Chains A and B, each alone.
Chain A
Amino acid sequence: MNERSDIDRLLRHWIDDGPSTMPDRVIDVVADRISTQRQRRPWRQPWSEPMNLILKGAAAAAAVIVLIAAWNLMPRAPDGAGSPSASPGESPAPTTAPSSSASPSPTAGGFACDDPAFSCAGVLAPGDHTTIAFRPALTFTVATGWVNTLDRERALTLHDNESPGHFFQIMSQVAIPEQNEECSAARRAGVGNSVADWQAFLVGHSGLTASSPQAIDVGGHEGIRIDVRVADDWTGSCPGSLGPAVVLITDSGEPPSRARWIDDQRTTLRIVDVAGETVILYLETSPSPADLAAVNAELQPVIDTFRFAPPG
């Protein structure tokens, strides 16, 4: 007893001793580093989805319109006086940002649509909801506090506004990826897209530690649930990843344009066959297994209300 108290006392005293003031430069370094470090919104990242050509074209067209408007509004120098220039102190030409599609851009609860080019419903009233753009169309029921931040043809994002520490998205038009150095969108050749193909991909991936597949039913459609994380001995990484990373999903477009990867997150994939179309219910949480279990428990009552319309 005395020996134990002695060593406790010695240890406490020894550990207490030592520097206890953070060097000032740490603040400067951290301020500098976070100025270039984007925050990882669990419901958005890591998510590589480059602007498609239509959006790029629309952005370019909008930029041209803004430039023309600016040109027309600029004061003109006398003829032959060279290039026009704004006089000092003058307001710059108005630069109206190109308006996006009919996005409500909700801000209730501090959240806007994930992508201003696509609609979302924002804060959802308790009750039934049916997706606007997502296909296959999905009807679901939520209680108070749920938010929809993306509703496009191939992706629907839902999260609990009170605990946004996770990313939950329903994805269609998915395909099994081939990981490259950039972790860009690339499909694996020679594999199918059935639930069984996905199971083989996830369970057989040397970069993943996967749970045993569990048979599930979502709205009358059969599927599997698998929990995955990056394997301890995996060394592949992605640009911007926190250590090793594995690309989990790409899309079936030509060419594919999105790639979802994970690094230290825990992820649950519910892969469901909806009348021949593979749909993935994708949940990503913090590295804590307890967190994954808790969020799955929160989500399950909502998933239990899912009703898919037949594709097409």
Chain B
Amino acid sequence: MDRDLVVAAQHGDQAAFVDLVRLRGDRLFAVAYRILRDVDRAEDALQDALVIAWRDLPSLRDPDRFDAWVHRLLAHVCIADAGRERRRIANLRVLPPDDLAAPDELLSVAERDRLDRGFRRLTPEERTILVLRYYLGYEPTEIAEALGVSAGTIRSRLHHAHRAMRAALDAEARAAAVGGTSA
């Protein structure tokens, strides 16, 4: 059924494409938000990615690959946006979003704060890799396909991102222990 929608949209059926957006939108928005950590920018990125998807949909060779294809488009749009934003706010102090301050049985507010800070220090590509890995459950080979780089590169960047997040947790914990901050 979804394949029929994709094929119809490939042939210019706007209503079919809007139906696809309804079906896939939540998941895509969630991915965009998790890469960009900002609702408004995630919304803008999703809109841009979907318009590009509509424009280029006739070039999709296998309609069954629609999900992977649109995730790839979205990832590239988010990486571009995050790169611009990263340059713009490089010197600004980052505050944790309000919606992450809720009590949690696994993560303390302080840990969330540290993870958020650590995540924002990663490159846009590393953020995207973490989201594809931990939110969508992609394997490194699938991430490699989505981002157009080798699986080896993905494993290397995943390892680096992993270490950076670990270091962010540890460093900020140490800084907190001696009464400092590393904003």
Contact = CB atoms under 8 A, between A and B. Distances in A.
Interface of A: 3, 7-23, 25-27, 29-31, 33-35, 37-42, 110, 163-166, 242, 285-289, 291
A262 B95 CA distance: 42
Contacts of B50: 26, 30, 34
Interface string B5-31: 000000110100110011001111110
Contacts of A19: 29-30, 33, 39, 99
Contact of A33 (B11, B51, B61): B51
A162 to B, nearest CB: 9
Contacts of A14: 107, 111-112, 115
A11 B130 contact: yes
Nearest to A284: B59
Interface of B: 11-12, 14, 17-18, 21-22, 25-30, 33-34, 39, 43, 46-47, 50-52, 54-61, 99-100, 104, 106-107, 111-112, 115, 130-131, 134-135, 148, 162, 165-166, 169
B104 A17 contact: yes
Given A40-B59, A163-B61, A242-B55, 4 more contacts: A11-B165, A14-B111, A15-B135, A39-B54
Nearest to B19: A27
A10 B170 CA distance: 13
Contacts, number: 125
Contacts of A26: 21, 25, 29, 43, 46-47, 50
Contacts of A242: 52, 55
A21 B47 contact: no
Contacts of B25: 22, 26-27
A302 B29 CA distance: 43
B55 A20 contact: no
A12 B46 CA distance: 22
Contacts of A34: 14, 17-18, 50-51, 54
Nearest to A3: B166
A214 to B, nearest CB: 23
Given A30-B51, A41-B58, A15 B21 contact: no
A113 B57 CA distance: 20
Contacts of B11: 110
Given A14-B115, A15-B131, A15-B134, A165 B59 contact: yes
A166 B60 CA distance: 9
B165 A42 contact: no
Nearest to B48: A33
Contacts of A289: 148
5 contacts: A10-B115, A20-B27, A27-B22, A33-B51, A165-B58
A7 B169 CA distance: 9
A20 B51 contact: no
A40 B55 contact: yes
Contacts of B18: 27, 30-31, 34
Contacts of A31: 14, 18
Contacts of B28: 22
Contacts of A285: 59
Nearest to A243: B80
Nearest to B115: A14
Nearest to B9: A39
Nearest to A36: B51
Nearest to B17: A34
A303 B168 CA distance: 56
Contacts of A41: 58
A227 to B, nearest CB: 16
Nearest to B163: A7
A245 to B, nearest CB: 14
Contact of A20 (B26, B54, B131): B26
